[in-house]
């Protein structure tokens, strides 16, 4: 009788141990999966627009409000901002060759209430899709007029170009390129300022001429010297945009009706 009880107890213990061991084993789940897809498509927006941006720190979420309202072109490849060159109305008349420098562009930066100086600049948008390339050119005939009066054979020299992305593009190999040397416009011929080869140019770009921290001293003959007294009419201008008026011109005192010339800016997908 005792032997049967021992066997029974042993059997129960073995079964209990097996049960405990079995419950400690991991359960083997059977995983089943299905793959789906997400998709998105795009088309170029021929009616899109881009606000003017700070040329030195372009951010589409922080628009810049220029004093001179821009006249943008339309289309997926477009000029957003083209510069005005104001050389001042209080320049002293001289009877010799003379250089004059443009006033800085002005406007209100995002989050501010007062106007600030920014370099004269160009802004373009290429939203055609992909890096298809483009070029921007400018021309002028070299003649300033005021009524029937003319100043002829003038030259406008542009230099110290840089390019900034308004689309957070970091790869410098896809940036448009600018001239490393000054560009002189005067002969009514188009001169390329900003060029993007195939493989470059997608996005929003600003092209400042000079820097807001580099200004004429007001010293010397044309205001770019380092010695002498300061001429307030030549001080604080943009040395990257220079107007040269040659000798032999008869210039009139016409502050009320300044001499003007046309600058023609063109963006093209022909590269």
pLDDT at 2 over 60: no
Q: Tell me the backbone φ, ψ of residue 16, rounded to 5 degrees.
A: -65, -45
pLDDT value of residue 3: 46
Q: Which residues pair with 140 in a beta bridge?
A: none
pLDDT digits (tens, 9 = 90+) for 84-109: 999 999 998 988 999 999 999 999 99
pLDDT value of residue 266: 98
pLDDT digits (tens, 9 = 90+) for 144-158: 999 999 999 999 999
CB atoms closer than 10 angstroms to residue 235: 14
Of the candidates 200, 115, 218, 112, the residue with the CA atom closest to the CA atom of residue 163:
200
Helices (H), the chain: 2-24
Question: Average of pLDDT values for 102-119?
Answer: 98
pLDDT value of residue 4: 52
CA-based end-to-end distance of the chain: 107
The band of 194, judged by pLDDT with boundaries at 50, 70 and 90, is very high
pLDDT value of residue 100: 96
pLDDT at 9 over 70: no
pLDDT at 18 over 90: no
pLDDT value of residue 256: 82
Q: What is the DSSP letter of 172?
A: G
For the chain, what is the mean pLDDT? Answer: 91
pLDDT digits (tens, 9 = 90+) for 216-270: 999 998 999 999 999 999 999 999 999 999 999 899 998 789 999 999 999 999 8
pLDDT at 25 over 60: no
Whole-angstrom distance, CA of residue 264 vs CA of residue 83? 10
Beta strands in the chain (DSSP E): 65-66, 77-81, 98-102, 105-108, 115-118, 120-126, 134-139, 144-146, 149-151, 155-158, 164-165, 177-178, 183-185, 191-196, 203-209, 238-245, 264-268
pLDDT value of residue 29: 84
């Amino acid at each position: 009788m005792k032997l049967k009880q021992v066997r029974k107890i042993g059997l129960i213990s073995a079964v209990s141990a097996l049960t405990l061991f079995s419950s400690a084993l991991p359960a083997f789940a059977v995983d089943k999966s299905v793959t789906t897809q997400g998709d998105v498509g795009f088309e170029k927006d021929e009616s899109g627009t881009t606000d003017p941006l700070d040329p030195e720190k372009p951010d589409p979420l922080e628009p810049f409000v220029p004093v001179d309202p821009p006249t943008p072109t339309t289309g997926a490849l477009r000029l957003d901002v083209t510069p005005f060159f104001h050389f001042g109305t209080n320049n002293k008349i001289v009877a010799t060759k003379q250089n004059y420098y443009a006033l800085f562009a002005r406007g209100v930066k995002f989050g501010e209430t007062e106007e600030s100086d920014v370099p004269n600049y160009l802004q373009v948008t290429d939203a055609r899709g992909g890096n298809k390339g483009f070029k921007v050119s400018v021309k002028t005939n070299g003649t300033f007029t005021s009524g029937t009066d003319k100043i002829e054979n003038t030259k406008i020299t542009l230099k110290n170009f840089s390019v900034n992305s308004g689309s957070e593009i970091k790869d410098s190999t896809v940036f448009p390129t600018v001239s490393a040397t000054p560009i002189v416009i005067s002969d009514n011929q188009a001169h390329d300022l900003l060029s993007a080869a195939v493989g470059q140019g997608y996005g929003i770009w600003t092209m400042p001429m000079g820097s807001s921290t580099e200004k004429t001293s007001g010293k010397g003959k044309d205001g770019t010297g380092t010695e002498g007294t300061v001429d307030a009419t030549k001080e604080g201008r943009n040395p990257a945009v220079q107007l040269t008026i040659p000798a032999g011109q008869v210039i009139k005192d016409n502050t009320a009706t300044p001499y003007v010339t046309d600058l023609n800016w063109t963006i093209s997908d022909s590269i």
